[in-house]
Structure 1
Amino acid sequence: MPKTVAEKLISLQRRFLLSTEEERQRLPFMKWEVVMAPKKAGGLGVGDAVIRNTALLFKWWWRFSKQDCPLWKKIICSCTNMDPAVMLRDQPVPTRGGPWKDICQLQIREPWLREKMISRLSMDLGNGRTIQFWEDSWLPNGVLKDMFPRLFSVSNLNGSVIEDCGFWDGLD
């Protein structure tokens, strides 16, 4: 999303939250950072439009690398002279504008965010036969049964190892 569009969107959000019925400006009761902060952190959970847009663009970047060759990928590659068999990071950025150019430029503009997202896409858990899915701490945020107690209470996979709780989809 272009910077001007993001700024306009944020401006509309602010005006909606801070205006009265008579469209007169009033003093805000809280900082915009608090409005954007997650509810768990004491905010209103509105979120940052720029970060949300970047995350959505990264989703397309990730899908391009993970899906073999669906129709949408063939069309993108045809319009941008890209090779569907080559990762985006190894291809030149398209010269024509539009959303796909923005997606390809993510690795250049936001390298720290790209690395953070890629590092969280996969994790090595060995053969999946020794780590208990619900009870062991195999995720950075803690034990799943503590993070999702209601889901754990209705699960019929209590005591299962990771191998029993999923399948390998064949993607890298």
Structure 2
Amino acid sequence: MELRSVLDRLESIRRNFFLGGCEERRKINWVAWNVVLGPKGNGGLGIGSLESLNISLLIKWLWRFYDERDSLWRRVICGIHNCERKHVDRWAKKSLGGCWFNIINVVSRLNDLGVNFKSTFDICLGDGKNTLFWLDDWLGNGTMAFNFPHLFELDKRKSCFVAERVGYDRLKWDWKRKPNTVIEREELDLLVRLVERCD
């Protein structure tokens, strides 16, 4: 049975119970079910929807995936899906499906609702070995890929870590070709100043 139909069925049973109806005989709904699900302060019972609860529990697994970098279960997931050096949207192979793929799909569902999953996390840079240089928002003002798109296009390894690009005394690059257009040089100058400021 598909998850959506399971959620709908469970929600129907719960709705009938709370509103005093049953499967065979319907009663008049004096209050909209969405109001009942809402917070007590808004006139609801504060019980929330099962779909919201399900999304919350799935997001908890993503939080743990971010937080427990050395755990065995995370290493197994990364081994199966080759997700260690990829952006969150590509952490699961579609061809494999399964639980982990469903968990990752929550990110797409949240994006469809206008919620940016990664923006809810603060990145602790640490030694830079677990933070993606281009794809993580490690300086707090957007990803480097978004802020410096021309340089991002030039980099041979777009999934590199901060530790691979930021050295003690200088930045280290692996370009397809050297930045030579005016916009590329301007982006590089701005990027260097931005990174030096965070030292």
- Normalised by the size of structure 2, how large is the TM-score? 0.50
| Distance (whole Å) between structure 2 residues aligned to residue 54 and residue 60 of structure 1 | 10
Contact 2:36 2:46 in 1 (8 A): yes
- Which is higher, the Rg of structure 1 or of structure 2? 2
Partner in structure 1 of residue 31 of structure 2 = 30
Provide the C-alpha distance between the structure 2 equivalents of 1:60 and 1:69, rounded to a whole number of angstroms.
Answer: 15
Q: Deviations over 1:80-137 (max 9, x none)?
A: 33344655334343423332111122233331558444333339xxxxxxxxxxxxxx
Residue identity opposite 2:73 in structure 1:
W
> Does the 8 A contact of 2:83 with 2:92 survive in 1?
no
Q: Which runs of 5+ in 2 are unaligned?
A: 124-199
Q: Distance in 2 between matches of 1:100 and 1:35?
A: 32
The count of residues paired between Structure 1 and Structure 2 equals 123
Q: Does 1:63 align with 2:64?
A: yes
Equivalent residues of 1:93, 1:105 under 8 A apart: no
Give structure 1 stretches of 5+ with no counterpart: 124-172
* 8 Å CA contact retained: 2:59, 2:103: yes
Partner deviation per Cα, 1:32-63 (whole Å, 9 max, x = no partner): 01111011211011212212212221221222
Determine whether 1:19 maps to 2:20.
yes
Counting aligned pairs with the same residue, the percent is: 31
Q: TM-score, normalised by structure 1?
A: 0.57
* C-alpha separation in 2, matches of 1:38 and 1:106: 23
SS in 2 for 1:33: helix
CA RMSD of aligned residues (A): 3.1
- Contact 2:21–2:27 (Cα < 8 Å) also in 1: yes
Superposed counterparts of 1:1-172, under 5 Å: 2-19=3-20, 24-78=25-79, 80-84=80-84, 86-112=86-112, 115-122=115-122
